[in-house]
Amino acid sequence: MFYKQIEENSTRQSEDLGSQFTEIFIKQQENITLLLSLLEEFDFHVRWPGVKLLTSLLKQLGPQVQQIILVSPMGVSRLMDLLADSREVIRNDGVLLLQALTRSNGAIQKIVAFENAFERLLDIITEEENSGGGIVVEDCLILLQNLLKNNNSNQNFFKEGSYIQRMKPWFEVGDDNSGWSAQKVTNLHLMLQLVRVLVSPTNPPGATSSCQKAMFQCGLLQQLCTILMATGVPADILTETINTVSEVIRGCQVNQDYFASVNAPSTPPRPAIVVLLMSMVNERQPFVLRCAVLYCFQCFLYKNQKGQGEIVSTLLPSTIDATGNSISAGQLLCGGLFSTDSLSNWYAAVALAHALQDNATQKEQLLRVQLATSIGNPPVSLLQQCTNILSQGDKINRRGSKIQTRVGLLMLLCTWLSNCPIAVTHFLHNSANVPFLTGQIAENLGEEEQLVQGLCALLLGISIYFNDNSLENYKKEKLKQLIEKRIGKENFIEKLGYISKHELYSRASQKPQPNFPSPEYVIFDHEFTKLVKELEGVITKAIYKSSEEDKKEEEVKKTLEQHDSIVTHYKNMIREQDLQLEELKQQVSTLKCQNEQLQTAVTQQASQIQQHKDQYNLLKVQLGKDSQHQGSYSDGAQMNGIQSEEIGRLREEIEELKRNQELLQSQLTEKDSLIENLKSSQTSSGTNEQSSVTALVEDSEQIAELKQELTTLKSQLNSQSVEITKLQAENHELLQKTEVFAKSDPIPGESETITAAKTTDVEGRLLALLEETKELKNEIKALSEERTAIKEQLDSSNSTIAILQNEKNNLEVDITDSKKEQDDLLVLLADQDQKIFSLKNKLKELGHPVEEEDELESGDQDDEYDEDEDDSKDQGHI
């Protein structure tokens, strides 16, 4: 003992010393910034000690170091790079560092999550073989819990990123589940807790609901139910799995329906709910497991009126199996309710109360339940049996707490009677119930019995508040008078307050899960605490109200009920009218569709009739009804009509070709005039400068080539015009032939053989004419292609002319520049001569002799300059 105290003191001193050193180190924030920059070094001997140092700093003074890292640029991002390190030592210590960094800091948790932490951590867990991995998986799961717990933003990001689907492989178990390692149990326990973090009742309802739906859609709930029904699973994992399934199905109708359909792998198969209830009412099962099953049953019935009806129906006489081969949930609850184990009584009473929660229909249905107490005695109602057990008190020898059975039954009765006047009437109909409650409340008992007194006061208050005055002896006013005489109003209110003042009341009101450290603490249910909070105030007001106020309240209630009935009536009428409107709309839409179909059918039939008419007229024209001769003549006339149409089309094409030819000739004339103008301009400009003579010669050669091209184009056009004239002549001959053929009528009275021969001759001619027409079309097509080629050649000549024009302009610019340079040189020479002459005069004035040869030379030079200038002028004129 002495050595242990010494070790504790030394440990405390070392921790205090570490905190002092850490405080000195972080006084200068640059130290943390420098440490973060050193973590970017890839060298193992730099990076790994830096990670260990920063982790120890966070353990000593976490919030202060977190704040410094949060404000430093890219501080969190640098730490996230540790998860991508290929060296497992640094990566694993990086996970531990991020655990300390993200603890109780929502801002850092969000930054880490948006730095792709979920993806990296899930990848590490997958690489380490999920639940079968080592302590690295445990560290990653703890870090995931830090990021998700009480952080709605990260939870939504986790769901939207489809990371819930990646959790399903974690819970794959085989047939043989014996011999799990301690690390696997720890990992699976943390994985189940992570699922519970996402669907915790403390989360916003919308976020919880979306996660529950995602877990059902990806098969995660089905996998959890497989673990639930598997054999050989460790007890603590089974308990945590039951709690996890409870919160996954809580308040989600789809998940609750699926859970109701799950069967245990037994012979014969039993519903999972029945198997779980068997464990709950079995006192040999672990206490924690029984609490988990109760929580699962509560979550299954939470906001699930369908499930509540199914549970209550198993208690009704019409649905009980007479053979007794299968046991139902209702039978299990009744068996637990009346067993000799006080804890089973409490569990069964609370479970049955949840089957009635906020469901007036099932409260009325439960009044029909009849129980056979003993052979030879008539059956009694479930309500009566509960009150009978209450009145017996401690007379029955029970295992466990003395008050658990009575507390459980009183909570069941309070839930049953609240908001159900019919149940209140049935309760008051038993004349022994009210005296028992008043006697319990009026007695002065010990502290343990005060809670029972408070619950009895609550039950009596509910009997007053929800009383419909249908029983003459137990109307509201008479019950209040009885309380005032036997108990006293103040005393009654004081006893009623014992419930909310109990030390275990506030603990039960915090969370829906029945989480008790030991069986002695099993007193209150979470939903019942909400009922007490709701009714305590209204019962107090109801006790102090006078009879007149009660009458007024009754009148107001009746008026409200009448108003509600009227509103309900109109709502039903509106609902029926809406249904009728929907039906009429559907009928209108179907009639519209039928109308459209009929219209399309009529249109199709009309088109078919028109086609039949056209075919009939065509047959009538082709075959004829008068005679074969008239039929053949009509055929010839029809063919002539077709021939005349072809000839008209040919005439139009010939006219179009003529117009195109005239247009081309006008374009050629314009190009000729343009070329002549260019020639004249080139000739006039060539006389001005001698240096551009060679360029003009090249231009003239190009112009000559263009002329030749134009001449060839003209010849092609002439040949085309000749061909067009020939075609016109042939066309004219064809027209004459057709006119002659049209004028030649058959002579009446000739034999049939002559008529047939003529008809054959006419048909042959017509075929020949048709072939000639096809040839003419082909020739016209060829002419149009040649015309296109001529147009292209004209376009190329236009481009050549434009190029020549540009070259001419460039030459003119060069000539102008050379003239300017020449004028500038002449001016410079004249200035130089003038300077030389003035210098000679100064020499003469100074008495320096000037030789005549210099003067002569200067004179000769002047003459040469003059001659050069004259030559240049002459060349310019040339």
pLDDT band for position 108 (50/70/90)? very high
Percent of the chain beyond pLDDT 90? 42
| 443 burial level (CB within 10 Å; 0-12, 13-18, 19+) | exposed
d(CA 643, CA 159): 80
Top mean-pLDDT range of 379-383, 399-403, 803-807: 379-383
pLDDT digits (tens, 9 = 90+) for 310-338: 999 999 876 555 444 578 899 999 999 98
pLDDT digits (tens, 9 = 90+) for 740-775: 544 544 444 444 444 445 456 655 665 666 676 677
pLDDT at residue 369 in the model: 92
Phi, psi of 538 (to 5 degrees): -70, -35
pLDDT at residue 755 in the model: 45
pLDDT digits (tens, 9 = 90+) for 695-742: 444 555 655 565 565 566 566 656 656 666 666 666 666 666 555 544
What residues pair up with 381 in beta bridges, in sequence order? Answer: 370
Percent of the chain beyond pLDDT 70? 74
DSSP letters spanning 497-565: THHHHSHHHHHHTT-SS---SSGGG----HHHHHHHHHHHHHHHHHHH--HHHHHHHHHHHHHHHHHHH
Q: Which residues contact residue 21 at a Cβ distance below 8 angstroms, ignoring those fewer than 6 apart?
A: 60
Higher pLDDT, 304 or 179: 304
Single-letter amino acid, residue 14 = S
pLDDT band for position 860 (50/70/90)? very low
Kind plus residue range of the DSSP H or E element containing 264: strand 263-264
d(CA 675, CA 229): 105
d(CA 540, CA 575): 40
Is the pLDDT at 865 greater than 60? The verdict is no
pLDDT at residue 196 in the model: 96
Contact 248, 195 (CB under 8 A): yes
d(CA 453, CA 442): 8
Q: Which residues contact residue 214 at a Cβ distance below 8 angstroms, ignoring those fewer than 6 apart?
A: 159, 164, 165
d(CA 223, CA 345): 32
Contact 441, 456 (CB under 8 A): yes
Closest CA to 276 of 261, 290, 265, 260: 290
pLDDT at residue 644 in the model: 54
439-455 mean pLDDT: 86
Residue the block writes with tokens 């408070």: 454
Q: Which residues contact residue 663 at a Cβ distance below 8 angstroms, ignoring those fewer than 6 apart?
A: none
6-23 mean pLDDT: 69
pLDDT band for position 291 (50/70/90)? very high
pLDDT at residue 447 in the model: 74
pLDDT digits (tens, 9 = 90+) for 460-480: 999 999 998 888 889 888 999
Other C-beta atoms closer than 10 Å to the C-beta of 840 total: 15
d(CA 349, CA 386): 10
pLDDT digits (tens, 9 = 90+) for 487-542: 999 999 999 999 999 989 999 999 999 989 999 999 999 999 999 999 999 999 88
Q: What does the angle CA 640 – CA 642 – CA 643 come to, to the nearest 5 degrees?
A: 60
3-state secondary structure of 341: strand
d(CA 861, CA 480): 151
3-state secondary structure of 381: strand
pLDDT at residue 846 in the model: 75
What residues pair up with 399 in beta bridges, in sequence order? Answer: 341
Whole-prediction pTM value? 0.63
Is the pLDDT at 685 greater than 60? The verdict is no
Q: Which residues contact residue 408 at a Cβ distance below 8 angstroms, ignoring those fewer than 6 apart?
A: 345, 346, 347, 348, 349, 350
Q: Could you give the angle at which helices 287-301 and 272-280 cross, rounded to 10 degrees?
A: 140
Other C-beta atoms closer than 10 Å to the C-beta of 703 total: 18
| Structure-block tokens of residue 284 | 């040999």
Is the pLDDT at 557 greater than 50? The verdict is yes
3-state secondary structure of 270: strand
Compute CA distances 242 → 89, 328, 332, 420, 677, whole Å: 36, 20, 19, 33, 106
SS3 assignment for 823-855: HHHHHHHHHHHHHHHHHHHHHHHCCCCCCHHHH
pLDDT at residue 810 in the model: 79
Entry field: residues in the chain: 878
d(CA 249, CA 302): 9
Contact 408, 427 (CB under 8 A): no
Is the pLDDT at 615 greater than 60? The verdict is yes
pLDDT band for position 802 (50/70/90)? confident
SS3 assignment for 611-623: HHHHHHHHHHHHH
d(CA 729, CA 714): 23
Is the pLDDT at 872 greater than 50? The verdict is no
Closest CA to 353 of 410, 394, 296, 284: 410
| Structure-block tokens of residue 167 | 């959790």
pLDDT band for position 641 (50/70/90)? very low
What residues pair up with 263 in beta bridges, in sequence order? Answer: 271
Higher pLDDT, 789 or 291: 291
Is the pLDDT at 690 greater than 50? The verdict is no
Is the pLDDT at 156 greater than 50? The verdict is yes
| Structure-block tokens of residue 503 | 């030390």
Residue the block writes with tokens 């009446």: 748
Q: What is the mean pLDDT of the chain?
A: 80
DSSP designation for 399: B
d(CA 415, CA 498): 18
What residues pair up with 264 in beta bridges, in sequence order? Answer: 270
Task: For the chain, give the longest Cα–Cα distance.
Answer: 176
Q: Is the link from the previous residue into 63 a cis peptide, with omega within 30 of 0?
A: no
- The pairing of beta strand 263-264 with beta strand 270-271: antiparallel
pLDDT digits (tens, 9 = 90+) for 652-665: 766 776 677 677 66
Q: Which residues contact residue 59 at a Cβ distance below 8 angstroms, ignoring those fewer than 6 apart?
A: 100
678-682 mean pLDDT: 58
End-to-end CA distance of the chain: 134
Top mean-pLDDT range of 49-63, 340-354, 619-633: 340-354
289-304 mean pLDDT: 96
d(CA 236, CA 752): 116
Is the pLDDT at 861 greater than 50? The verdict is no
pLDDT at residue 221 in the model: 95
DSSP designation for 318: G
558-585 mean pLDDT: 86
What residues pair up with 271 in beta bridges, in sequence order? Answer: 263
Closest CA to 527 of 628, 629, 412, 361: 412
pLDDT at residue 658 in the model: 67
Contact 271, 262 (CB under 8 A): yes
34-44 mean pLDDT: 88
Residue the block writes with tokens 């032939």: 737
d(CA 740, CA 855): 110
pLDDT digits (tens, 9 = 90+) for 345-383: 999 999 999 999 999 999 999 999 998 877 777 889 999
